Structure 1
């Protein structure tokens, strides 16, 4: 009896596939680049499980082009790269990798917040360009973080980890969520409406999942509510922010700075943002620590092993496929 085929679309770690070797035929993509849909269908033909990173798009045409597919194991907490509705129609399970990247991503939110508020990107480029020849009282003045008001939009695992760190800076924390959290889960933060948060916060961090409902939840109208001294950080997903509206607000001084790890249409970045000196930009590295990325890969593979063992995958995001609901 032939063994099930597991296709891994991007390079993980050298031994990531070891738990699969004795029980499945493992197909590894030798090129560490995302596959376009037509190429992915060709590469994964005949597979029953697909391991995809967050940078790999798995649209309906891929799912429909792989009739034997049973499981898509995403290496990432977000899974907007997968057409889950198409997976549901085809009876395909989808898994993600929550929890294991929470602390690393929260740390990165703070790196962006501190860097943008204190203008480290701008001043470092200025120094490297050989422009530093004198010290002055008004040189590279930034915004205080300690004692300021932090606004968090999206108070899930990562949002709560960000709020927990804010206590060390003596900050007041506001948050906006679809629902108000029980007091014991809120990390001392106070729930407010989105408009009140945008008006009141000195620094705003976005950490919500991307969906059609959250597309451009910060656009020109929302940016107009923010303080001209405010800093905006997006550590969630590209598409939460209207990047071009943000670039215009930065250029016109309607907000002070932004720290962005994710972008609409990444890896392409809006030229207007690239030209904004007060935007601190990083290439989607929120989870990029050795331990976090390793744990993500291991959890994705563990979901495949669960399926091979006839068990419910441990981080299944569409349990309705099991019930036919």
Structure 2
């Protein structure tokens, strides 16, 4: 007698190969229109699903989990960050949470380096001139940027992605520094030729480029607040491919407008798509629409991890990428 298949609700469109495999394994509801679910739709999905597959755009807090009913047993998040999910409340209600760590490391590190180059070498400004048709021709003093070789890069958060950024930066001739909750083992530090700073304030004040690579947690919210941003050198550049909430966006905008920070490259924003409109007006800022993980390969690998987590759970085992509150 065939066993009953799990009921799975997916909140956004996923790569076709992932959706097809899900359909083969489970009873799946897909979001064909790819419109973000509102709170009511999410609550309804959680009541009728054994497994919910959300993304970063779905905020699943304690109030929403309270409406989930008894059927929901697993939230298999499509993404590595889980700051949009109240993991502790989920566990209290007997709902497991899994994520997709590791698969986006190289893609996000590539984007961090791309933003460093884009800001320091003024690539978007050059692109705008060429697209406008107003380029007067080459000049010895036109579009002068800065050389990144020899500059000090400070990495805030030296996990998988931070270390991948460090390897790339070293290849470009940058001097790597970092601040982390825990100091890396000596052999890793030596391999990366990275200098550890116990004091974030002291590191920030000395860096030419600062790369944000730490997760968003209560302790990292506005870690780069107005006071700490003011420690940066006026010639320094800040890049964020992690979570927008780590930086006080309004304070950063004010400092960029005042010339107190030389430039910024941002792929994430404090309030999601509702970013500070004044940021768009600044020529020394490169803004991207959360593209750090946007490779075909990465998004398919994320889906494969979701599939493995759900299938392992369905087979009665612990999902390999189970998230527990102590990890956050």
For 1:58 and 1:89, the matched residues in 2 are separated by: 14
Equivalent residues of 1:287, 1:293 under 8 A apart: yes
Q: Deviations over 1:174-210 (max 9, x none)?
A: 1000111112223120111211211111110001000
User: What are the within-5 Å matches in structure 2 for residues 260-299 of structure 1?
Assistant: 260-299=266-305
* Match in the other structure for 2:253: 247
Q: Under a length normalisation based on structure 2, what TM-score does the superposition of the two structures give?
A: 0.93
Q: Are 2:153 and 1:147 equivalent residues in the alignment?
A: no
State the 1:228 CA deviation: 1.1
What's the CA shift for 1:53? 1.5
1:69 paired with 2:72, answer yes
RMSD across aligned positions (CA): 1.6
Equivalent-residue separation in structure 2 for 1:178 and 1:319 (angstroms): 17
Please list the CA deviations of residues 59-84 of structure 1 after superposition, one character each: whole Å capped at 9, or x if unmatched: 22332222211111111111111111
Aligned equivalent of 2:62: 60
Segments of structure 1 that go 5 or more residues without pairing to the other structure are 321-325
Gap runs ≥5 in structure 2: none
Output the TM-score relative to the length of structure 1.
0.94
Please say if 1:92 is aligned against 2:98: no
Mapped contact 1:103–1:161 kept (Cα < 8 A): yes
Query: Is the 1:149–1:172 contact (alpha carbons within 8 Å) kept by the matching residues of 2?
Result: yes
Within a 5 Å distance, the mapping from 1:199-278 to structure 2 comes to 199-278=205-284
Question: Which residue does the alignment assign to 2:164?
Answer: 161
Partners in 2 of 1:313 and 1:117 — Cα distance?
A: 43
1:243/1:273 contact within 8 Å kept:
no
Cα distance, 1:17–1:124 mapped onto 2, change above 3 Å: closer
Whole-angstrom CA distance in 2 between matches of 1:51 and 1:104: 22
Deviations 1:127-170 (A, max 9, x none): 32233214333212212211111100000000000001122112
Match of 2:194 in 1: 189
Change (3 A) 1:22 1:127: closer
Offset at 1:85? Answer: 2.2
1:180 alignment counterpart: 183
From 21, 24, 30, the counterpart of 2:32: 30
1:134–1:17 Cα change, 3 Å? closer
Determine helix, strand or coil for the equivalent of 2:244: coil
Number of aligned residue pairs: give it: 320
Q: 1:111 aligns with which of 108, 114, 117?
A: 114
SS in structure 2 at match of 1:239: helix
* Structure 1 residue corresponding to 2:139, chosen from 136, 144, 161: 136
Q: Which moved more, 1:18-27 or 1:41-50?
A: 18-27
